[in-house]
C-alpha cells in the first residue's frame, strides 16, 4: 500500500480537486492518505466528511509577489515548515501533492527538503502565488489550462492534464438528470448557479430573466441562488410558491446537492468562472454564459472565462457590465439559435478533460515509483 500526503486549502476550488485526485489514486492502487490543511480553511469541514485522515498546521497567506521573503515565510512562522517536516517524517509519504492555497507552501517545501517527490496541481489560467513559488522545486506541475504554461519560468516540469472532475459528473445522462430533478424532458433547460455562496450580481440580473419567461412554456430554469441570497431573490418575485416555483418553468432554490444531475440536464448554463465549475461544464459539453467573479486573485476568473470564449465554448459578460437586460438578450439569442448553441456545445466538449483526475493520479504515482524503484503500471 502506498502513502500519499495531499494538501490544499482555503476554498472549495483547492479542496475539491484534492479530493478528486485522492479518489483517482485510490482507484489505481490501495493507498493510505493524509490530508494536511490549515486551521481556518473550509477543509476543516469538507475533508472529515470525506473520511480522509486530516491534520492541520498554522499558516498565513503570502504577499502577492514572488520574493525571497515569501519563500522563507511560506507559513505563519518558520515553525510551520518544521511542523510539516515532522508530519512528513512520521507519515513517510512516497509523494506529496499540493492543489493550491497557502497551506501548501510549508507542506511541499518541507517535502522537497526531505527528498520526497512533489506534484503541484494548478487549476487556473493565472497561477496562484503559492504555486508559482512551489513550481521552482516541484517535480511536476499539472496544469488545468495550457495557457497557464507561459506564467511559469521553469518549463520542463509542466504537464497539461486539465482539471480533475468527480466521476459522478461524467456518468449521468441528460434523461436521467431531468427525470431525477423532476424537469420536463423536452423543454430548453437553463441552469444558473453562482457557486456555493451564490453570486449577488447574477441573482439580481436573473430577476428580469425570470419575469420575462414567467409565462413562456418552452423553457425551464433551474436557478441556484446560494443560501445567503435566496430570501432576497424570492422576495422580488411576486407569486412564487413555497418550493421556489415561479411561473411556467422557473424553479429557484438556495442549494442543490445533485449538481451532476443538473449539469447533465442543462442545455445552457449561467456560471461564474471558477476552475472547478468550468471543468465540469466542459466535460459535459455544456455551453455557458460566464460572469467572472471580479475580486478573484489576479482576476484569474476572467482569464479562465476568456480561454473558453476564445475556443467558442462560452460567452462572457463582465460583472461590472452585467444587467438583467444584457443577460436576457444573451439567453434569448442562444435559445433561439440552435446551430450556435450546438457549435458552443461541441467546442465546450472538445475542451473537456474527463481523464484529468486519472492522468494526474498516474503522474503522481509515476514520480513516487521512480523514487521507490518500482515501475509504473
Q: Which residues are annotated as a binding site for UDP-N-acetyl-alpha-D-glucosamine?
A: 11-13, 124, 166, 196, 301
- Rounded Cα–Cα distance for residues 178 and 173 (Å): 9
**Cα(289)–Cα(305) distance, integer angstroms:** 9
Yes or no: say if 141 and 120 are a contact pair by the CB < 8 Å rule: yes
Q: Quick one: which of 63, 11, 6 has its CA closest to 71?
A: 63
Torsions phi, psi for 2 (to 5 deg) = -80, 165
H helices then E strands: how many in the chain?
16, 14
Residue 4: how many CB atoms within 10 A of its CB?
A: 24
Closest-CA residue to 51 (of 62, 36, 40, 35): 35
Is residue 162 left, alpha or beta, with left meaning phi > 0 and alpha meaning psi from -120 to 50?
left
Annotated binding site: 11-13, 124, 166, 196, 301
Amino acid at each position: 500500500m502506498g502513502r500519499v500526503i495531499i494538501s490544499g486549502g482555503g476554498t472549495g476550488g483547492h479542496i475539491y480537486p484534492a479530493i478528486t485526485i485522492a479518489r483517482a489514486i485510490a482507484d489505481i492502487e490501495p493507498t493510505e492518505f493524509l490530508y494536511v490543511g490549515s486551521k481556518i480553511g473550509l477543509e476543516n469541514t469538507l475533508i472529515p466528511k470525506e473520511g480522509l485522515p486530516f491534520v492541520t498546521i498554522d499558516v498565513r497567506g503570502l504577499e502577492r509577489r514572488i520574493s525571497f521573503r515569501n519563500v522563507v515565510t511560506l507559513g505563519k512562522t518558520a515553525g510551520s515548515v518544521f511542523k510539516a517536516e515532522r508530519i512528513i517524517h512520521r507519515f513517510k509519504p512516497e509523494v506529496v501533492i499540493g492543489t493550491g492555497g497557502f497551506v501548501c507552501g510549508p507542506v511541499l517545501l518541507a517535502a522537497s527538503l526531505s527528498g520526497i517527490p512533489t506534484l503541484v496541481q494548478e487549476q487556473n489560467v493565472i497561477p496562484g502565488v503559492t504555486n508559482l513559488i512551489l513550481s521552482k522545486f516541484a517535480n511536476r506541475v499539472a496544469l488545468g489550462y495550457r495557457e497557464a504554461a507561459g506564467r511559469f519560468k521553469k518549463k520542463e516540469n509542466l504537464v497539461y492534464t486539465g482539471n480533475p472532475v468527480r466521476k459522478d459528473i461524467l456518468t449521468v445522462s441528460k434523461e436521467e438528470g431531468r427525470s431525477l430533478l423532476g424537469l420536463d424532458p423536452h423543454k430548453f433547460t437553463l441552469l444558473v448557479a453562482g457557486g456555493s455562496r451564490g453570486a449577488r450580481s447574477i441573482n439580481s440580473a436573473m430577476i428580469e430573466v425570470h419575469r420575462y419567461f414567467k409565462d413562456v412554456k418552452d423553457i425551464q430554469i433551474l436557478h441556484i441562488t446560494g443560501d445567503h441570497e435566496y430570501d432576497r431573490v424570492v422576495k422580488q418575485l411576486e407569486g412564487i410558491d413555497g418550493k421556489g416555483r415561479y411561473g411556467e418553468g422557473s424553479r429557484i432554490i438556495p442549494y442543490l446537492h445533485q449538481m451532476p444531475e443538473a449539469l447533465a440536464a442543462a442545455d445552457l448554463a449561467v456560471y461564474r468562472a471558477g476552475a472547478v465549475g468550468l471543468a465540469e461544464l466542459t466535460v459535459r459539453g455544456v455551453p455557458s454564459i460566464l460572469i467572472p467573479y471580479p475580486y478573484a486573485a489576479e482576476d484569474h476568473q476572467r482569464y479562465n472565462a476568456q480561454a473558453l470564449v476564445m475556443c467558442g465554448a462560452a460567452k462572457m459578460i463582465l460583472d461590472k457590465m452585467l444587467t438583467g437586460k444584457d443577460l436576457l438578450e444573451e439567453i434569448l439569442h442562444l435559445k433561439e439559435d440552435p446551430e450556435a448553441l450546438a457549435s458552443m456545445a461541441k467546442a465546450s466538449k472538445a475542451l473537456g478533460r474527463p481523464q484529468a483526475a486519472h492522468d494526474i493520479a498516474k503522474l503522481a504515482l509515476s514520480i513516487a515509483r521512480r523514487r521507490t524503484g518500482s515501475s509504473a503500471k
